[in-house]
């Protein structure tokens, strides 16, 4: 009999969002009049903006005309999009990234999950706890539960920003602005990680999916704002949250040409060539129509409209922060990220106890922090992806809550 990849049996069952859905469904069935407000979800709620819709329609028409129909596109993405990305997201910000170093993809989930394909199995890997679960699960799928996987604790004692490891780690996943905690690193803090990586010949996998939500000045939008990062980092960016592409699917990954690793013979190998080989073998490109939609994000109208989407969600983040601070709760994040990370009040037994009481007594849903790792126990994530009306009402209910 053929065998399975045994590592799959070592994965923690991912009960989090299915348990949440089941609990909400059961509660709604038993309390049909309850107006439940969902602040747990990490998915956008506003529709695609007009500039993007226009570009999508136009490219659909192109695909239906003999002269402009397109089949397979370049695996790395069309130049029209890569040029816009390089210019707008990097060069205009003084960062020297070339269009050739950008790989367009169908999502940062795929890319952060697949990047391990080009890395050696014996690398030590560091993952923050709590964490966006994809980094951990895809490492377990690849190398199994292993002592090579190290956890960097993010907790109240370090303001949910992990300490730099005091041992040599080969591959480090960092996500800032952070999901789930909403915390960010200042430029000076990120510089220390880059310094560590360069000193230890480590690779930083930097997930900047929430970069557009940064409002403060000394928070880097890209790891490549830090000198020398092009020799030690890969960056993942997504159109999901800044432009509402969660259902459309488009992202990109920056693999600088200066980034090298060694093979067993001690030769220096460019990761750019490896990722190119991996993508052109296993991926046939993001749809042309979608890439035209993403290109429209960079048009003057697209920039204005997508900034307005982000501002809309950040207004909710402000409402949540203000309301919960007034209630006297301890909170993190929400100033440069769409997530607010809340310490569960002492009356709640734990993250799930808090979830149950919040649902039952306020008809509000969030995400229990323990679902993102053991350091998330006792914490709770509120998302600002919702309407202003719902957010205000949810916060009013919480403020009036006798807890
Ligand atoms: N990275 C982080 C930190 C996320 O929170 C998410 C989605 O929630 C993603 C990546 C996935 O993004 P995409 O929709 O591009 O796959």
Residue 131, token pair as written in the block: 């964490």
CB of 251 closer than 6 angstroms to any ligand 1 atom: yes
Please tell me the predicted confidence (pLDDT) of residue 15: 72
pTM check: above 0.85: yes
Distance, CA of 246 to CA of 31 (rounded, Å): 31
CB of 250 closer than 6 angstroms to any ligand 1 atom: no
Query: Can 6-47+301-399 and 51-299 be said to share one CATH topology?
Result: no
CA 109–ligand 1 middle distance (angstroms): 5
Distance, CA of 54 to CA of 325 (rounded, Å): 41
pLDDT digits (tens, 9 = 90+) for 347-389: 888 999 999 999 999 999 999 999 999 999 999 999 999 999 9
pLDDT digits (tens, 9 = 90+) for 185-215: 999 999 999 999 999 999 999 999 999 999 9
Please report, rounded to a whole number, the percentage of residues in the chain having pLDDT higher than 70: 100
Asked if 179 and 42 touch (Cβ cutoff 8 Å), the reply is: yes
Of the pLDDT bands very low, low, confident and very high (cuts 50, 70, 90), residue 17 is: confident
Task: Name the residue ranges covered by the structural domains of the chain.
Answer: 6-47+301-399, 51-299
pLDDT digits (tens, 9 = 90+) for 334-356: 999 999 999 999 888 899 999 99
pLDDT digits (tens, 9 = 90+) for 245-285: 999 999 999 999 999 999 999 999 999 999 999 999 999 99
Asked if 260 and 231 touch (Cβ cutoff 8 Å), the reply is: yes
CA 214–ligand 1 middle distance (angstroms): 16
Domain 6-47+301-399 maps to which CATH number in 3.10.290.10, 3.30.230.10, 3.40.1440.60, 3.90.1150.10? 3.90.1150.10
- Per CATH, the number for 51-299 is 3.40.640.10
CB of 291 closer than 6 angstroms to any ligand 1 atom: no
Instruction: Look at ligand 1, atom 1, and give the residue with the nearest C-alpha.
Output: 209
Asked if 136 and 149 touch (Cβ cutoff 8 Å), the reply is: yes
Of ligand 1's listed atoms, the one at least distance from the Cα of 240 is 14
CA 372–ligand 1 middle distance (angstroms): 14
Distance, CA of 81 to CA of 293 (rounded, Å): 9
The backbone torsions φ and ψ at residue 118, rounded to the nearest 5 degrees and listed phi first, read: -100, 5
Instruction: Look at ligand 1, atom 12, and give the residue with the nearest C-alpha.
Output: 108
Which one of 176, 179, 182 would you pick to mutate in the ligand 1 pocket, going by the greatest count of ligand atoms within 8 A of its CB? 179
Q: Is the pLDDT of residue 14 over 80?
A: no
Of the pLDDT bands very low, low, confident and very high (cuts 50, 70, 90), residue 310 is: very high
Nearest one of 16, 368, 350, 342 to 160, comparing CA atoms: 342
CB of 178 closer than 6 angstroms to any ligand 1 atom: no
**10 Å Cβ neighbour count for 22?**
11
Residue 45, token pair as written in the block: 């709620």
């Amino acid at each position: 009999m053929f065998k399975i990849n045994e590592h799959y049996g070592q994965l923690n069952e991912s009960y989090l969002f299915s348990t949440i859905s089941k609990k909400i469904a059961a509660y709604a069935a038993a309390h049909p009049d309850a107006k439940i407000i969902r602040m747990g979800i990490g998915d956008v709620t506003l529709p695609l903006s007009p500039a993007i819709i226009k570009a999508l329609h136009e490219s659909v028409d192109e695909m239906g005309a003999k002269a402009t129909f397109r089949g397979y596109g370049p695996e790395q993405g069309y130049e029209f999009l890569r040029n816009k990305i390089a210019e707008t997201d990097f060069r205009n910000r003084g960062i020297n990234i070339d269009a050739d170093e950008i790989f367009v993809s169908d999502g940062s989930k795929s890319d952060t999950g697949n990047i391990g394909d080009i890395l050696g199995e014996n690398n030590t890997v560091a993952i923050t706890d709590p964490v966006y679960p994809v980094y951990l699960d895809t490492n377990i799928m690849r190398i199994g539960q292993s002592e090579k996987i190290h956890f960097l604790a993010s907790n109240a004692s370090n303001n949910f920003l992990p300490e730099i490891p005091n041992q040599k780690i080969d591959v480090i996943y960092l996500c800032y602005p952070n999901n789930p905690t909403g915390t960010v690193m200042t430029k000076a803090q990120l510089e220390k990680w880059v310094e560590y990586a360069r000193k230890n010949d480590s690779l930083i996998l930097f997930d900047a999916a929430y970069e557009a939500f940064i409002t403060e000045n000394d928070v880097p939008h890209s790891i490549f704002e830090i000198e020398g990062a092009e020799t030690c980092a890969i960056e993942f960016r997504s159109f999901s949250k800044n432009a509402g592409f969660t259902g459309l699917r488009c992202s990109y990954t920056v693999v600088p040409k200066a980034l090298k690793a060694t093979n067993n013979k001690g030769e220096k190998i460019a990761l750019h060539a490896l990722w190119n080989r991996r993508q052109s073998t296993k991926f046939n490109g993001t749809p042309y129509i979608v890439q035209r939609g993403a290109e429209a994000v960079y048009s003057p109208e697209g920039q204005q409209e997508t900034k307005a989407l982000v501002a809309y969600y950040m207004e909710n983040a402000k409402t949540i922060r203000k309301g919960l601070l007034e209630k006297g709760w301890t909170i993190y994040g929400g100033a440069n990220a769409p997530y607010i990370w809340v310490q569960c009040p002492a009356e709640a037994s734990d993250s799930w106890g808090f979830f149950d009481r919040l649902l039952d007594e306020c008809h509000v849903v969030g995400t229990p922090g323990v679902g993102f790792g053991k350091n998330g126990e006792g914490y709770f994530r509120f998302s600002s992806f919702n309407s202003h009306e719902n957010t205000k009402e949810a916060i009013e209910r919480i403020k009036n809550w006798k807890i």
